[in-house]
Chains A and B, each alone.
Chain A
Amino acid sequence: MEALTWTGSFGAYLNPIIYALGVIALLGMALQFIIPIFVTTNRSGLLAMQKGPADYAAMAFLASATGIVAIVVLYMVVAIVGPYGVTGIIGEVGARFTPVWVALIATFAVSMTFKKRLGLYGKLFDSPIGMVGLGLVLFWVFTAVFANLIMTYDPLAQEVVMKNEPPGSPLSGGDGGAYPHYLLGGDALARDVFSRMVAGSQIVITIAPLATLFAFMVGITLGLPAGYFGGAFDTVLTFVANLILAFPVILLFYLLVTPEIVATGLPTYMAMVLFLFPILFLVVLFNSRYFTTPGKRNVLVAGTVLIGGWLYLSLISQFNTPVDFMGLADLFDVPGGILIVFVSVVFVNSPTVFRIVRGLALDIQTRDYVAAATTRGEGPWYIMLWEILPNARGPLIVDFCLRIGYTTILLGTLGFFGLGLPPESPDWGTTINAGRRLLSAFPHPAIVPAVALVTLVLGLNLLADGLREESLKD
């Protein structure tokens, strides 16, 4: 097997075209916003229809960018239908992601068709930025879902000859069944960089949204009463929140995640407190709504307590830690390190969510509908959870998206300092940390997860921006 080049056998003709288009795109992008700064045009009426130099620059940018995307898409199509290896690394990597493309196109087609009926989510398809963001996020979500179909190798398997090999290196001496190339090269321990990146998406895509959700549960459960009741409760909680926020994040991680502290069981005790909040939240949520119909209320609350309680006990009872009491009734054990990472990320995020929710509660409780509910004789928890919270959803959804991105960055930071997760873990932070040692000689093992992380976070930020723009429109 020969080594794959980036653009394969058409490369000789295509590379110059791609470079040229790239230069035009960059120039166009730069000019289209630099020109209006210096050339002030106060065009109005008919004159506004005329095109100025900035508009031509923008058109050049759009055309060349579309050209590059078209070439890449064409490549992937050729790679999917054509023989193996003709289209180089770009084509073959694209072909590996086939299930993701299919799922993405299907999701977009369905959503675009029914966008009128889908509320805020449907409106997202009116904003190009929101669509790009959603596309990037869904790409990684589907990658995590179909990871087993996409990966070319086991993310932990080592092929000694492939150590630090550049992207597209053929696997010499492999048996017939194995994939013939390391598409994005091998890392310092001779593992396939591409497969590790795909496997890493699973860890990131599971932990980041879940941890953010837990942080929101904690923040909402504490922030609503703090804002609504005020008083000493509010003062104390705000002080504690500011206390945690004044900690430099990295110092906090180093204090919480070192093996010595883990041995004392401190993170596990913190998990016991933090994981209680979702159950508490749901119980109060159902109780405040349905306490007038005890039959329904009892079923819902009992169900939450039973299912949530069992999940909670299984989650906090970890084999071989200071908290281990469930024995055979333990449904699952979270693998080493992940629980600790999860807890510290939730702990760092909760105070910010608390402050946001508290601010929103303070603002919204002055509205007329809250006064109406008070006059009707509704209880304080009903007002908080069924009047204030639904009306605070706009800013909360936007912040949720942003916060998932921020949590992803925090997870990467933990991995970058080698904290929490085991060193062979394929998550992006840990892989960047492993790759940075030989960075100036072999950049690819660190660059691949770095680019993956940026695209996910960028997608989430653009999605949040799109959501904010669309929710402000009405």
Chain B
Amino acid sequence: MGKFILRRASVMLLTAICLTYIVFFLTNLYPNLEKLAKTQGNFRMTEAEVQSWLEPRGYLEPMPVKYLEWVGVLPGHLTELEDGRVLGRCVRPGVEPEDTPEYCGLLQGKWGFSTVFKEGVGGITFERLGLTGYLMMWVMLVMVPGALIFGVLAGMREGSRTDRTLSTTSIAFTATPEYVSGVIFIALFASSAGFGRIFKGSATSAMESANFENFFLPVITIALYGLGYIARMTRASMAEVMTAQYIRTARLKGVSFKNIVLKHALRNALIAPFTVIMLQFPWLLNGVVIVETLFNYKGFGWLLVQAAGNNDIDLLLACSVVAVVVVLVTQLISDIGYVYLNPRIRVA
């Protein structure tokens, strides 16, 4: 088991390095840097002025060097100008040149400086992540039990009327992306045209104090899309377990149907949905970006859109790192959990 985790973890690390390098490469392409120079300097810069803005700050170094500086393995680029000013990666306004650290990358905990929010990137990212975490917690609390109940009820009698109705409902949920269900929910429950303004169409106030009125719609919007998918997986798994020999044995012994479902089938039927729930995280991330934009809830997804839309390179990189790490860690947990839960799989 230890060897398996180690191998998975090293592949994961390699993946993380590749992914961050790709993101780094794409965000540091010359047109992006040129735009950065123009928004930070002034919009009428000539080509030569752009060069002279970028050069001393270390933006024109070779890509791998820049990447290693960003990671914090190489010392940050420093240029001393003729007038004594010092420019470079690690230079921050208000910090004396002699206090400027030599290394400033992820390994040193320096995430860079956001050009949009005029703050350190690390602080903003983790603050926003907290808000998104709160949203995700509620989504999970609604989605997971809902999906499991849906799936178990549908799968315990395959082909029955309950099964058909619930399966079709799950298909309908998976066919409704967040930007559609969100729009429909707002139109129905938060506008004067539908059933009146029962809920709020904006979740901005939920950032300070979340309550049923301002938080229900965003949570249910994310939850529904994932719910359909997990429910279908649970149903398939439950239906398979219900045809197993030991269920038939239990039935022939005269165990009541309720006890068969709850005591014999359920535990085995929940192995597959567990992995699916973990692998849902990347999708939830998608949903989070859409819903936070739609409901104006200023969490991590909203931050990502702001960073990407405003060419805020450091912030976008930080968001990507967080997103990639979340995806890879959930994959790892799902792999390990699957092996742990399923006694039929043994890895050396």
Which residues of A does B touch, CB under 8 Å? 29, 32-33, 36-37, 40, 54, 58, 129, 239, 242-243, 246-251, 254-256, 258, 260-261, 263-264, 266, 405, 409, 412-413, 416-417, 429, 432, 435-436, 439-444, 446-447, 450-451, 453-454, 457-458, 460-462, 465
Contact = CB atoms under 8 A, between A and B. Distances in A.
B29 A261 contact: yes
Contacts of B180: 412, 432, 450-451, 453-454
28 contacts: A33-B162, A36-B160, A129-B168, A243-B22, A246-B282, A248-B285, A250-B286, A254-B308, A255-B27, A255-B308, A256-B26, A260-B29, A260-B31, A260-B32, A260-B311, A409-B177, A412-B179, A412-B180, A413-B179, A417-B305, A439-B187, A439-B201, A440-B192, A443-B183, A450-B179, A457-B176, A458-B176, A461-B171
A447 B191 CA distance: 12
A432 B183 contact: yes
Interface stretch (B81-89, B93-101, B318-326): B318-326
Interface string B172-198: 101111011001101100111110010
Contacts of B11: 239
Contact of A246 (B19, B174, B309): B19
Interface residues of B, number: 63
B91 interface: no
Contact of A413 (B160, B190, B290, B316): B290
Contacts of B290: 250, 413, 416
Contacts of B22: 243
B211 interface: no
A54 B30 CA distance: 66
Nearest to B25: A255
B18 interface: yes
B31 A439 contact: no
A413 B282 contact: no
Q: From B161, B177, B184, name the one whose CB has the most chain A CB atoms within 10 angstroms.
A: B177
Given A243-B18, A260-B311, A412-B179, A446 B187 contact: yes
B285 A258 contact: no
Is chain B's binding surface mostly helix, strand, loop or mixed? helix
B29 A458 contact: no
Task: Give the most central of B11, B184, B257: most A CB within 10 Å.
Answer: B184
Given A254-B308, A260-B311, A439-B201, A248 B282 contact: yes
Interface in B212-253: none
Nearest to B307: A254
A443 B165 contact: no
Contacts of A248: 282, 285-286, 289, 323-324, 327
Contact of A443 (B26, B194, B258): B194
Contacts of B190: 439-440
Contacts of A32: 161, 165
Nearest to A57: B161
Interface string B319-338: 11001100110010000000
Contacts of B316: 254
Given A36-B160, A417-B293, A447 B184 contact: yes
B225 to A, nearest CB: 9
B210 interface: no
A443 B320 CA distance: 34
Contacts of B29: 260-261, 264, 266
A29 B186 CA distance: 25
A247 B326 CA distance: 10
A40 B257 contact: yes
Contacts of A254: 304-305, 308-309, 316
A261 B168 contact: no
In the A-B complex, list the 9 residue pairs whose CB atoms are closest, starting with the nearest: A443-B187, A254-B308, A260-B31, A458-B175, A33-B165, A440-B191, A33-B162, A457-B175, A450-B180
Nearest to B197: A440
B31 A242 contact: no
Nearest to A128: B164
B104 interface: no
Pick from A247, A254, A453, A462 the residue with the most CB of B within 10 Å: A254
Contact of B15 (A243, A435, A451, A458): A243
A239 B10 CA distance: 13
B294 interface: yes
Interface string B49-72: 000000000000000000000000
B150 to A, nearest CB: 11
